[in-house]
């Protein structure tokens, strides 16, 4: 059943994530964005103390402090009649493969940089995943209210290290720490001044400054020179380059003072893509107006242990979702009831009854659903399985209790299938001692916890001294296995051959000694 309204609704939506290194200001920016919102509702939420042991969601903290409705998975708000779905990328202590996976649920990302620190490791990793998946990226250079790097220097770093062309949309008048205003290059170089709001608690009042009055101002003169330079090197926004991930519109500001945030929001609405038809496992994309379909991109254990329930967060890919509708779980072919879609957040929070492509729905009683699963109504569809990302932590897993070996093995297979961790095997180590590989060490904690709780088969992990992995092929295995400090494994999930290295230096020396062997960056296996 085709619903023409779906395409109209999809065009009104922007679904994005903020990618950043811890402390760059993601929570502050989120809050600043939300301050501009007309209304805030949430796409799904989980109450109570975190099962994430000691890791309190920043957003939950915000919710308590500010009384706004947020969730641990997605924040939804309206700006200029556009519905913005901001999907959370877990960072800090809970950085894991799931952090990368949530990027499969967004159409665009905001790369947030600290003006003083510039590009930092976690940002680089997340950037690579976005680039690999072809997600367009806007850049926000934060903390311009305090001393930092030079604006042109930051652009150079983005261009050189990321290989993406920065095309500034706003430009600071004043070096970091001495911000006088922002030039809006999309509005004929209009200069906007700000009145600081205490602690960014309100939207900073803006006023358009008169260029004539600024003519003697040294900072303004410098800004004009820099703008001329930018124009002369052609650093202008080109929609095609941005959408193809070759260029990134850049914004400057201060999240904590809510400066430049409005410009960024305008950029998300005006420049970022709305949800489009998503390619299916068969190849052909499912049209937006087709029947409902969606992909589970995050599963969270219910905070209420007594129920052992799970909440699955689904990104709507096509059609209209109506709470209560019966959908098909593509993996099992079984019907799945969405009656409880949002009952958890029914009382004090607004219920999500209808959702369109780009929206995020939280499904309660979702113990059958796994990350990567497809749900649909009408014509059957399955979206491609979620990719596995390059692991950076490795450990040998063995059963603690030898009388539980059968359950232990079953558990490992299950966790592997669910993508909780990656399982690596080799002839040398034998099947008895699989190696677990993960993007973040928290994945190991989850794996051990679930082996003990769900399979009654506690395990022990012995860390291995490897730091990075490269994809290789059968022809290179002999050489690599003779290289000291290097080991080759087969990843059970997809049969990929992975060579693991104790350090980047070891990798470069092997590459130098054997320039002909295949050692590909493995962002993912898709
Ligand atoms: P997250 O770890 O990326 O979520 O970062 P937070 O939002 O928690 O911010 C980290 C620290 O940077 C906090 O102390 C913030 O107050 C501070 N911060 C965030 N944005 C700004 C900004 O624009 N200017 C300044 N000076 N500090 C900021």
Of 19, 24, 28, best ligand 1 pocket probe by most atoms within 8 Å of the beta carbon: 28
Ligand 1: nearest atom to the Cα of 259: 23
**Confidence at residue 179, expressed as pLDDT on a 0 to 100 scale:** 93
Q: How many CB atoms lie within 10 A of CB 474?
A: 9
Q: 54-68, 252-266, 505-519 — which is least confidently predicted?
A: 54-68
Q: How many CB atoms lie within 10 A of CB 354?
A: 11
What is the distance in A from the centroid of ligand 1 to the CA of 252? Answer: 14
Q: Decide if 348 contacts 309 (C-beta within 8 A).
A: no
Q: 52-61, 337-346, 369-378, 409-418 — which is least confidently predicted?
A: 52-61
**Confidence at residue 326, expressed as pLDDT on a 0 to 100 scale:** 93
- Among protein residues, the one whose CA lies closest to atom 6 of ligand 1: 25
92, 149, 144, 156: which is closest to 118 by C-alpha? 149
Task: Record the pTM.
Answer: 0.87
What is the distance in A from the centroid of ligand 1 to the CA of 17? Answer: 17
**Confidence at residue 33, expressed as pLDDT on a 0 to 100 scale:** 87
* Rounded mean pLDDT, 112-136: 94
Instruction: Examine the pLDDT at 285 and tell me if it is beyond 70.
Output: yes
Exposed/middle/buried for 306, CB within 10 Å: 0-12, 13-18, 19+? Answer: exposed
Query: Any long-range contacts for 55-64 (C-beta under 8 Å, 24+ apart)?
Result: 55/92, 55/93, 55/94, 57/88, 58/26, 58/27, 58/30, 59/27, 59/30, 59/88, 61/27, 62/27, 62/30, 62/31
Instruction: Examine the pLDDT at 367 and tell me if it is beyond 80.
Output: no
Average model confidence (pLDDT) across the chain: 85
pLDDT digits (tens, 9 = 90+) for 107-116: 999 999 999 9
Exposed/middle/buried for 446, CB within 10 Å: 0-12, 13-18, 19+? Answer: buried
The binding site for GTP comprises 88-92
Q: 65-69, 131-135, 384-388, 447-451 — which is least confidently predicted?
A: 65-69
290 vs 18, 365, 376, 381, 383, CA distance in Å?
A: 29, 26, 10, 11, 14
What is the distance in A from the centroid of ligand 1 to the CA of 255? Answer: 7
**Confidence at residue 295, expressed as pLDDT on a 0 to 100 scale:** 95
Of 23, 93, 114, best ligand 1 pocket probe by most atoms within 8 Å of the beta carbon: 23
Tell me if 487 CB under 6 Å of ligand 1.
no
Higher pLDDT, 211 or 412: 412
pLDDT digits (tens, 9 = 90+) for 22-58: 999 998 998 888 887 754 443 333 322 233 323 334 4
Instruction: Examine the pLDDT at 105 and tell me if it is beyond 90.
Output: yes
| Half-sphere exposure at residue 219, Cβ-oriented, CA atoms within 13 angstroms | 17
pLDDT digits (tens, 9 = 90+) for 261-271: 999 999 999 99
Q: Decide if 262 contacts 140 (C-beta within 8 A).
A: no
For 246-284, give one letter per residue: b (16+ CB within 10 A) or e: ebbbbbbbbbbbbbbbbbbbbbbbebbbbbebbebeeee
Ligand 1: nearest atom to the Cα of 31: 7
Confidence of residue 90 (pLDDT cuts 50, 70, 90): confident
Confidence of residue 198 (pLDDT cuts 50, 70, 90): low
What is the distance in A from the centroid of ligand 1 to the CA of 25? Answer: 4
- Among protein residues, the one whose CA lies closest to atom 11 of ligand 1: 23
Instruction: Examine the pLDDT at 294 and tell me if it is beyond 60.
Output: yes
Tell me if 26 CB under 6 Å of ligand 1.
yes
């Amino acid at each position: 059943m085709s619903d023409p309204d779906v395409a109209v609704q999809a065009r009104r939506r922007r679904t994005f994530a903020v990618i950043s290194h811890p402390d760059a200001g993601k929570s502050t920016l989120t809050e600043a964005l939300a301050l501009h919102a007309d209304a805030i509702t949430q796409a799904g939420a989980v109450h109570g103390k975190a099962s994430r042991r000691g890791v309190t969601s920043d957003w939950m903290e915000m919710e308590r402090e500010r009384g706004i409705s947020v969730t641990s998975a997605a924040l939804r708000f309206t700006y200029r009649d556009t519905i913005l779905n901001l999907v959370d990328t877990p960072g800090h202590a809970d950085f894991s493969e799931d952090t990368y996976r949530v990027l499969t649920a967004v159409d665009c990302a905001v790369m947030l940089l600290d003006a003083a620190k510039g590009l930092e490791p976690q940002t680089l990793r997340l950037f690579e995943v976005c680039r690999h998946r072809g997600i367009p990226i806007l850049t926000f250079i934060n903390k311009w209210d305090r001393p930092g790097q030079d604006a042109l220097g930051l652009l150079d770093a983005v261009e050189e290290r990321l290989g993406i062309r920065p095309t500034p949309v706003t430009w600071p008048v004043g070096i970091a720490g001495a911000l006088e205003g922002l030039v809006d290059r999309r509005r004929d170089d209009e200069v906007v001044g700000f009145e600081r709001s205490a602690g960014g608690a309100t939207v900073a009042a803006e006023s358009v400054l008169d260029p004539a009055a600024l003519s003697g101002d040294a900072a303004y003169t410098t800004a004009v020179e820099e703008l001329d330079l930018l124009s002369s090197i052609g650093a202008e926004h080109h929609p095609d380059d941005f959408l193809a991930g070759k260029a990134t519109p850049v914004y400057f500001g201060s999240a904590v003072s809510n400066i430049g945030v409005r410009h960024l929001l305008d950029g998300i609405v005006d420049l970022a893509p709305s949800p489009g038809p998503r390619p299916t496992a068969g190849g052909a994309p499912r049209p937006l107006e087709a029947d409902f379909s969606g992909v589970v991109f995050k599963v969270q254990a219910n905070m209420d242990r007594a129920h052992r329930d799970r909440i699955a967060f689904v990104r709507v890919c096509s059609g209209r979702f109506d709470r209560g509708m019966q959908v098909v779980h593509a993996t099992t072919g079984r019907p799945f009831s969405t009656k409880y879609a949002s009952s958890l957040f029914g009382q004090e929070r607004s219920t999500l009854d209808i959702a369109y492509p780009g929206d995020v729905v939280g499904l309660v009683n979702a113990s059958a659903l796994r990350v990567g699963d497809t749900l649909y109504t009408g014509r059957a569809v399955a979206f491609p399985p979620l990719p596995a990302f390059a692991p950076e932590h490795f450990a040998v897993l063995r059963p603690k209790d030898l009388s539980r070996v059968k359950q232990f093995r079953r558990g490992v297979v299950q966790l592997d299938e669910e993508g909780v961790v990656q399982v690596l095997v080799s002839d040398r180590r034998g099947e008895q001692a699989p190696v677990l590989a993960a993007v973040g060490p928290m994945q190991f904690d989850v794996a051990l916890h679930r082996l003990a709780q769900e399979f009654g088969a506690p395990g022990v992990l012995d860390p291995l001294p490897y730091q990075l992995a490269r994809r290789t092929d059968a022809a290179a295995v002999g050489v690599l296995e003779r290289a000291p400090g290097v080991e080759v494994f087969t990843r059970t999930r997809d049969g990929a051959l992975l060579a693991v290295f104790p350090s980047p230096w070891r990798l470069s020396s092997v590459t130098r000694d054997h320039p002909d062997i295949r050692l590909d960056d493995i962002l993912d296996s898709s």
